[in-house]
Amino acid sequence: MTREEGATDAASTDPAPRRADGDIYTHLLMLRTGLRRFEHWSAEQAAKAGLTPAQHQLMLAIRGHPHDRGPTIGEVADYLLLRHHSVVGLVDRAEAAGLVERERDPDDHRVIRLGLTRDGRERLEALSLLHHEELARLAHEIPDLWRGLPGA
């Protein structure tokens, strides 16, 4: 068998696995690109509202916290996948901008909880409405992105 014949034989057995393999990468690319586009769009909306994307995420972490009492710095750090000291700096800047406030926990005065100011609530509400509208628009595209992924 010549070298060229061997290449032809190998090529005739490989297309199906490569095509299936390529589909996985295509789906992952489409999904990750879609997520990045949404994140980019979200950052633009935050900027239009006079916020940084990090401030928007901070405010969402505070408002989305499942308990009536606001979250602690540590809980926000977990939500945002940041270190405690990074969240302290973010909260300091957001507090100086009049978006968030610190409050002592009524049951344990050693614990500081975070809340939104009136301005912070109003800005977050406006941004959240825009985000819900955008997600509703994207909902038609998302099923196509999931289809074909393992376990989908």
pLDDT by residue, tens only, the chain of 152 residues: 555 555 555 444 554 445 556 678 887 888 888 889 999 999 999 999 999 999 999 999 999 999 989 999 999 999 999 999 999 999 999 999 999 999 999 999 999 999 999 999 999 999 999 999 999 888 877 766 666 566 66
pTM of the model: 0.79
Q: Name the DSSP class of 89.
A: H
How far from each other are the two terminal CA atoms of the chain, in whole angstroms? Answer: 43
The CATH number given to whatever domain includes residue 71 is 1.10.10.10
Pairing of strands 100-104, 112-116: antiparallel
In a domain, 82, yes or no: yes
- In a domain, residue 151? The reply is no
Counted domains in the chain: 1
Distance CA 98, CA 138 (A): 32
Domain extent, residue 111, equals 17-146
